[in-house]
Structure 1
Amino acid sequence: SFPGLAGSTYANQYIIGQPTNIVRLYQLLGVNPQTGQYQFTDFNGDGKITTPEDRQVIEDISVKYFGGWTNTLQYKNWDLSFLFQFVKKKARNYIGIMTMPGTMNNQPVQVLDVWSPENPNGTFMPYSTVNTSSHNLLRSSTAAYTDASFIRLKNVQLGYRIPLKSGPFKDVKIYFQGQNLFTWTKFFGVDPESSSLGFLPPLRTYSFGIQFNL
């Protein structure tokens, strides 16, 4: 329970009986062909898109499940080890944090998918010099939160062991190692794990080494 929730500053954030990690969103219907503006569901029918009255779509952005798979394979003097990471979740995508096109910021190529009579399924409304609230509403709509599930090859190492018949070492291992080599995801953003513009995705690194074993 949350006594006085409706009159508090948390009224737009929490709902009784729902997880605390939710967001309340406008429901995007697409681009209105008459106005060229984004169109949203007017849940209370007052002819305006307002909050909290029209932010009625509830999205839980908690991680549903996560895990990993690691294994080591050996054949004669060869060995191969790897680690896969997987996460099932939804998160705020690039639409939710993007700046308005035309404001001297880098933009992804997807912003070229603009609605027009020839492209009726275009994602973004036509760009113009007219200042409207549509872009801000879009950033708080169902378009801004999508599947951020991913599978990532976190680590892989391939090694070859050479036995030594003399000297202080039993053998020497030559290996190649890579980290964050591949990520499989449909997420529209910099990285599905952090899902924010304030973080770089994990660096892809390669290394080569020699290990002497006593």
Structure 2
Amino acid sequence: MYLTASRPDIMFAVCLCARYQANPKESHLQAVKRIFRYLKGKAALGLWYPKDVNFELHAYTDSDYGGCNLNRKSTSGGCQFLGPRLISWQCKKQTNVSVSTAEAEYIAASACCSHVLWCQNQLLDYGFNFLKTPIYIDNTVAIFITSNPVQHSKTKHIEIRYHFLRDNSEKGLIVLVQVSTENQLADLFTKAFDQGRFEHLVQAIGMINYEP
């Protein structure tokens, strides 16, 4: 778990295994051993923070829908960037069962918004004031819920505390921007992929191999 602070590529796998700490099975041990084998083979892989590049704050958010086979709860994922530099990332199973992909995505976007606001407040101490921070999401319905206050009757099943996403959007602190699923970098923190897609996402978030 401590290693995920510097290795976002294993964030989803570690968080998934951590759900079974209270009653682990043999299959969970095998999964943990696979993580260690991956780390041994990719010991030189790490985040790269270049200088003299774009310094704009932006974020990506995504969720799987009912990905947990035990209780069908979804997993929220998010990551925040300063230019091409990954500065924060999250992976967390949602507390409630979502009844639609839009609800799962909206809840994930709400969590991502909280981290964006925290980043904005921290950067204010250094003289950077980022308004209308783009949060990239691949679900159009979640964007419509944020931008259309008329749809209250259709969104009552979403808890009120998640509607602060709409409030911060109206204040001009964040703006939801649609991005294609292919370019959704937060996918790395919500689900498992084949080797090709996984390596593409790892490279896209700014991790490189330091081996000479």
Larger radius of gyration: 1
Give TM class, smaller chain.
Answer: under 0.3
TM-score (normalizing by structure 2): 0.21
Larger strand proportion of the pair? 1
Higher helix share: 2
Greater RCO (Cα-Cα under 8 Å, separation 6 or more): 2
